[in-house]
Amino acid sequence: MVGNFQIEATDRTTRARAGKLQTAHGVIETPVFMPVGTQGTVKCMAPGELRQLPAQIILGNTYHLMIRPGLELIQKAGGLHKFMNWAGPILTDSGGFQVFSLAKLRKISERGVEFQSHVDGQTLFLGPVEAMEAQTILGSDIAMAFDECAPWPCDREYACRSVDLTIQWAARCREKGLGSRQLLFGIVQGSLFADLRERCAKELVALDFPGYAIGGVSVGEPEPEMLQQVDAAVPHLPAEKPRYVMGVGTLPQLVQMVARGIDMFDCVLPTRAARHGKVFTNTGSFSIRAAACREDFGPLEAGCECYACREFSRAYLRHLIWANEILGLRLLTWHNLHVFLNLLRRARQAIGAGEFGEFQREFIAQYTEKADYDERI
Q: Which domains, and CATH codes, for the chain?
A: 32-266 (3.20.20.105), 274-366 (no CATH)
Distance CA 333, CA 204 (A): 36
Residue 36: DSSP 8-state? B
Where is 94: in which H helix or E strand?
A: none
Where is 104: in which H helix or E strand?
A: none
Strand residue runs (E) in 231-365:
243-245, 264-266, 278-281, 284-287
Which residues are identified as catalytic? Answer: 93, 266
Q: Are 275 and 329 in contact (CB under 8 A)?
A: yes
Asked if residue 69 has a cis previous peptide bond (ω within 30° of 0), the answer is: yes
Relative orientation angle of helices 326-352 and 251-259, to the nearest 10 degrees = 20
Distance CA 266, CA 218 (A): 12
Residue 54: DSSP 8-state? T
Q: How far apart, in Å, are the Cα atoms of 291 and each of 216, 287, 301, 322, 336?
A: 38, 9, 17, 11, 20
Specify the pLDDT at position 239: 97
Compute CA 48 distance to the chain's CA centroid, rounded to the nearest angstrom: 20
Specify the pLDDT at position 375: 55
Note down pLDDT in tens along the chain; length 377 residues: 999 999 999 999 999 999 999 999 999 999 999 999 999 999 999 999 999 999 999 999 999 999 999 999 999 999 999 999 999 999 999 987 776 666 566 788 999 988 777 778 788 889 999 999 999 999 999 999 999 998 899 999 999 999 999 999 999 999 999 999 999 999 999 999 999 999 999 999 999 999 999 999 999 999 999 999 999 999 999 999 999 999 999 999 999 999 999 999 999 999 999 999 999 999 999 999 999 999 999 999 999 999 999 999 999 999 999 999 999 999 999 999 999 999 999 999 999 999 999 999 999 999 987 644 455 54
Beta bridge partners of 265: 33, 245
Distance CA 73, CA 82 (A): 12
Specify the pLDDT at position 377: 46
Rg (CA), the chain: 20
- For the whole model, what pTM was predicted? 0.96
Q: Are 313 and 298 in contact (CB under 8 A)?
A: yes
Nearest alpha-carbon partner for 340 in 56, 22, 2:
56
